[in-house]
Structure 1
Amino acid sequence: MSGHKRSVLPVHPYLLLTLTVLFWSGNMVVGRGLRELVPPFSLAVGRWILAFLLTLPFAWPHRWTLKGLDCRQWLVLLVLGALGVGAYNTLAYIALAHTSATNAALLNSFIPIAIIAISWFFGHQAKKSELVGVGISFCGVLTIISHGDPAILAGFRLNVGDVWMLAAVLSWALYTLGLRWRPPGVHPMALLAALTAIGLLILLPFALHELASGAVLHPTATAIAGIAYTGIFPAFLGYVFYNRAVAEVGAAKGGLFIHLMPVFSTILAAIFLGEVPQLYHLLGIVMILAGIWLTTGFNRR
C-alpha cells in the first residue's frame, strides 16, 4: 500500500484526521436527529450503500490488487469490515436512540485511551509523551462536557445506550489497531470498497429483520438529506482520510484526534445555533489542542 499513498491523497495526515473528526462530529448530531425517522440498522445500510457507490468508480481500476490474497489476508479484511463498517457506526446509532449526544461524545472520547490500553495488552509500550498527551486532551474533553462543573461528572450514570456506545468504542479501537495488518499492496480505494462490501453483507440481514420486526422508515426529505450526509462525508470521505492517515502516523496518534469532536461541536453550535462559547469551552479546547500537540510531536518540529 505504501506505493499508493502519495498518489492518492498528497495531503498532510493530521489535516486528514482533523477533517475526518469534523465529519464525524456532524454524524453524531445527524444520528441523534434522525432517531425518530430512520431505524439504526437502516441508517447504517443506507449510508454504506451510498459510500460503496461513491467508492466503486475509484476502486474498480485497482480491483486487481485484491487478487491473490490468501485465506489469512481475507480473514483480516473480514474482521476489519465487520468492526469498522459493520459495527462501529451501527452501534453508535443504536446508542444515540437511547442516550444523549453529550453522553455519546463523552464515551466516544475513550477511543484513544482504549487504543493505547489494547496496544499495551499486546506488548506495545506507549511513550510517556503519548500518555501525557492523551491524559491532557481527555481532561479537556471532560471540561467541555461537564461545563467545567465536576458535579455533572459525579452525577453521570450509564444507561443502556451508553453500554452500546462503549461497544462502539471497543469496535473502533480494534479496527484502528487492526489496520496495521491490512494486506500489503492492496490499493486504498480497493481496500475501502472491500471493507464496505463486507460490512454491508453483515448489516443487511439485521436491517431486514429490523423492518420486519415493526421498525418504520420515514423517507422524508430530512431523512434522505441526513442519510446523504452520513454516506458522503463520515462514511466515504471520513474512512478514506482516516485509513490513509493512520497508515502514516499510527493508531495511537490517529485515534487521539477523536478528542477534537467536542471542539468541533462547540464551534458548530456557535456558527449555526448562535451559542456563545463559554470559558470552560475555551479552557477545554486549549487542553485538547495541547494534548494533541504534545502527542503528535509538533513541539519537536
Structure 2
Amino acid sequence: MTPGLTPRTALLLIIPPLLWAGNAVVGRLVNQLVPPITLNFLRWALAFVILLPLAGWVLRRRSGLWAHWRRFALLGLLGVGAYNALQYLALQTSTPLNVTLVAASTPVWMLGIGWLCFSQKVSRRQIMGALLSIAGVLVVLSRGQWSLLAQVRLVPGDLYVLLATVAWAFYSWLLARPAEPPEIRNDWAAFLMAQMIFGLGWSGLFAASEWALTDAHIRWGWPLAAALLYVALGPAILAYRCWGVGVQRAGPAVAGFFANLTPLFAALMSAAFLGELPHLYHGLAFALIVGGIVVSARR
C-alpha cells in the first residue's frame, strides 16, 4: 500500500465518493423542484442545524475561530459556498455520470495546484498520468467523437464542474496544511462547523443572487424534504468528515485517486434510479482517467 494508506484510511476515502455519487443523482432528481444554488444553501443550513448541538461552542468569542477567520472564510468559500453550488448548476445541463467523470480529473488539478501554489515537485511519471487523465476528460467533453473534438461545444454543466474541481483541489491542499487552533482542528464537528459558518454566508449570498436574477421557485413536498435530509447528512457532514481525515492521513495526491471511484458509483446509481445508461465512451474515459492516476501514484 501507499505509505500512510492503511485499510482504515482507504475505507474513509471510499465513503465520500459513494456519497458524492448519490449527491449527483439526487441533485439531478430534484432539479425541477429547487434552484441549484438554493439547494446548496438549504443543504448547508440543515447541516448547520444538525451540527449545532455538537459544535455550537465554536461560535463563542474565545473559541479560536475568530482569530483565524480569514482561513475559515476561504475554506467556507471553496468547500461550502462554491464547490457544491457549481456541481448542482452543472447537473441542470449535464448528467450525473458526465459530471462525475469530468470531476474525476481532480488529481490532475491536485498536482498542478500543488506545484503552482504549494511548492510541490511533479515528476515525469505524474505528468504522463496527468495527460492520460486529461485525455479521459476530453473523451467526456467531446462525447466520444474525436473527429469533432476541435469543434466541440461545451454545455454549461461541463464548465461548471471544471470550476468546481479546481475549487475542490485548492480546498484539499488547504486541508493538508493545518493552521487552526488544536481545539478546533482535532474536533471534526467543530472544524466543519467553523467552515459552515462562513460557507453559509457565501452560499446565502449566491442564493440571493439566484433569486434576484432568475425566475427561481421551490416546490415543497416529501421528495424535496427527503433529498435535503440526504444531502445534508451524507454528502455534507459524513463525506466531509471522512474526506478531511483521509486527506490528513494519506495526503491530497493519494486521496485524489479515490475520487475517481465517484463515476463508477454514479454510473450504477444513474442506471438504477434515472435510467441513464452509460455509453462506451464513458468506459473509455473512466479507463483513461483511472489509468492516469495509477501511473501518477506509482512509487
Q: Same fold (TM over 0.5)?
A: yes
Q: 1:144 touches 1:262 (CA, 8 Å); kept in 2?
A: no
Q: Cα offset for 1:188?
A: 2.4
Give the superposition deviation at 1:284. Answer: 6.6
Cα deviation for residue 172 of structure 1 reads: 1.2
Question: Retained in 2: the 8 A contact 1:137–1:259?
Answer: no
CA distance in 2, matches of 1:146, 1:209: 32
Task: Return the alpha-carbon distance in structure 1 between the equivalents of residues 270 and 28 of structure 2.
Answer: 15
Q: Any conservation in 1 of the 2:48–2:196 contact (CA below 8 Å)? A: yes
Task: Name the structure 2 match of 1:90.
Answer: 85
2:244 is matched with 243
Matched AA of 1:94: L
Residue 72 of structure 2 aligns to which amino acid in structure 1?
L
> Paired residue for 1:229?
230
Q: What is the TM-score of this pair, normalised by structure 1?
A: 0.79
With over 3 angstroms needed to count, the CA separation of the structure-2 counterparts of 1:292 and 1:18, relative to structure 1, is: farther
> Cα 1:286–1:269, aligned 2, differ >3 Å: closer, same or farther?
same
> For the structure 1 residues 144 and 65, does the alpha-carbon distance in structure 2 shift closer, same or farther, using more than 3 Å as the test?
farther
- Distance in structure 1 (CA, Å) of the matches to 2:125 and 2:278: 29
Question: What is the root-mean-square deviation in Å for CA atoms of aligned residues?
Answer: 3.4
2:29 maps to amino acid: G
SS at 1:98 equivalent: coil
Q: Counterpart of 1:12 in 2: which secondary structure?
A: helix
5 Å-filtered alignment, 1:103-252, equals: 103-122=98-117, 123-127=119-123, 130-131=126-127, 150=146, 156-179=152-175, 180-185=177-182, 186=185, 187-213=187-213, 214-252=215-253
Contact 2:97 2:266 in 1 (8 A): no
1:267 aligns with 2:268: yes
CA contact (8 A) 1:109 1:138 kept: no
Per-residue deviation at 1:33?
2.0
Residue in 2 that maps onto 1:34: 30
TM-fit CA distance, 1:83: 0.8
| Alignment-mate amino acid for residue 207 of structure 1 | A
Deviations 1:2-22 (A, max 9, x none): xxxxxxxx9822211111011
After alignment, is 284-293 or 228-237 more displaced?
A: 284-293
Preserved contact between residue 76 and residue 181 of structure 1 (Cα < 8 Å): no
**How does the TM-score come out when normalised to structure 2?**
0.79
For residues 212-265 of structure 1, give each alpha carbon's deviation from its aligned partner in whole angstroms, at most 9, with x where no partner exists. Answer: 553111112222222221111111111111111111111112222221122112
Question: How many residues are aligned here?
Answer: 288
Q: Give the Cα–Cα distance (whole angstroms) in 2 for the partners of residues 223 and 102 of structure 1.
A: 22
